[in-house]
Structure 1
Amino acid sequence: MPKADIHPTWYPDAKVICNGEVVMTTGSTSPEIHVDVWSGNHPFYTGTQKILDTEGRVDRFMRKYGMGGADSASGAKTAAKADAPAEAEASA
């Protein structure tokens, strides 16, 4: 038999609130639960997830190990364009 007066109050219809809007109800020991992210607005669940490469690490890895097909070809063209003006100045 559980002891009396040691358990917290149980709220079977506790409201989960995100951005001032009730998004669901659940059982909890607090009457309201305020959250910033839930499955309805999280990028993983909504399909709006993006991979951010702010420092170019993926591109640097691809160049370093010779992977990347189109990216490595465009990098070679850029390098050739950079060398072309130097050669033109030397011949002039």
Structure 2
Amino acid sequence: MPKSEIHPTWFKDTPVMCDGKPLCLIGSTKRQLQVDIWLANHPFYTESQILIDSEGRVEKFMKKYQLNSNDE
């Protein structure tokens, strides 16, 4: 017979919270879950992500090995 006291308590309706606002209810071993980023405020999905590529990979390689792009 399996031991009954080794398993954590399961909460069927655990609220997932972001900035104090409930997002959804899920099942969990914790009473409440706190997330910092979710779909509605993630930079990738809100199109507020800024990609900064000050120096590309090829240029970085050329600079590292002191090569000119005209050399062959």
Same fold (TM over 0.5): yes
Q: Among the aligned pairs, what percent are the same residue?
A: 43
Structure 2 gap segments, 5+ residues each: 60-67
* Partner AA of 2:10 in structure 1: W
- Deviating beyond 6 angstroms after TM superposition, the runs of 4 or more aligned structure 1 residues are none
Distance 1:14 1:65, change over 3 A: farther
Q: Please identify which structure carries the higher helix content.
A: 1
Q: Distance in 2 between matches of 1:42 and 1:13?
A: 25
* Partner AA of 1:22 in structure 2: P
* Partner AA of 2:47 in structure 1: G
Alignment of 1:37-52 (within 5 A): 37-52=37-52
The structure having more radius of gyration, on CA atoms, is 1
* Aligned position for 1:74: none
Alignment of 1:1-92 (within 5 A): 2-53=2-53, 56-58=54-56, 61=59, 65=69
- SS of equivalent residue, structure 2 residue 44: helix
**Structure with the larger RCO, 1 or 2 (CA within 8 Å, 6+ apart):** 2
Structure 1 gap segments, 5+ residues each: 67-92
Offset at residue 51 of structure 1 (A): 0.6
Give the RMSD, CA atoms, in angstroms: 2.4
Offset at residue 5 of structure 1 (A): 1.3
Distance 1:41 1:2, change over 3 A: farther
Offset at residue 40 of structure 1 (A): 1.9
* Aligned position for 2:63: none
